[in-house]
A = this chain, B = another copy of it.
Amino acid sequence: MVDNPLDALLGYQLHRAAATMMADLAHSIEGLALTRTEASVLLLIAHNPGVTQSEIGRILAIQRANMAPIAAMLTDRGLLKRKRADGRSQGLLLNRAGMALAAELASTIAAHESKFLPDISLSDRQMLVGLLRRVWMPELP
């Protein structure tokens, strides 16, 4: 039997758990022809009509430079429209097709989420989510 010295490390467990869920998510949404990153952007716009690319990037930790092709791709697919905010920035809004896809995406994600830790209580799950938030947002409560 092989001894895995990484097994007790928070970082290792985070890496394996995240990789597992991200791979499952990618597979779950491939029928929607979205990558994980594109899907996260679509959902954020759905909940925040008029948000700009730079704002999305700051919230989701996506570089401005990497947001450009994502926004262009979603626009080309007819999922969102751009509305000039000022001369240099433009708010993003889902159109009808984008809203429909976002709704389908949300239910797909809910099904995906429910596959993991199905036996845990809701309060334990929320505690877990709160602890993970503190890993990358150490300043907040």
Whether B21 and A51, one on each chain, are in contact in the complex, defined by CB atoms closer than 8 angstroms, is no
> Which of A43, A106, A128 has most B Cβ within 10 Å?
A128
* CB interface residues, A 1-55, toward B, < 8 Å: 2-22, 25, 40, 43-44, 46-48, 51, 55
Residues of B within 8 A of A15 (CB): 18, 21-22
Whether B19 and A61, one on each chain, are in contact in the complex, defined by CB atoms closer than 8 angstroms, is yes
Copies of this polypeptide in the complex: 2
Whether A20 and B136, one on each chain, are in contact in the complex, defined by CB atoms closer than 8 angstroms, is yes
Chain A contact patch, size range: 35 or more
Whether A132 and B16, one on each chain, are in contact in the complex, defined by CB atoms closer than 8 angstroms, is yes
Interface of A: prevailing SS: helix
Point out residues on A near B: beta carbons under 8 Å.
2-22, 25, 40, 43-44, 46-48, 51, 55, 59-61, 106, 109, 112-113, 116-117, 120, 124-125, 128-129, 131-136, 138
Whether A14 and B14, one on each chain, are in contact in the complex, defined by CB atoms closer than 8 angstroms, is yes
Whether B136 and A10, one on each chain, are in contact in the complex, defined by CB atoms closer than 8 angstroms, is no
Whether B128 and A11, one on each chain, are in contact in the complex, defined by CB atoms closer than 8 angstroms, is no
Q: Which of B2, B4, B10 contacts A129 (CB 8 A)?
A: B10
Whether A5 and B132, one on each chain, are in contact in the complex, defined by CB atoms closer than 8 angstroms, is no
Q: Which of B11, B40, B43, B129 contacts A113 (CB 8 A)?
A: B11
| Closest chain B residue, CB of each to CB of A8 | B129
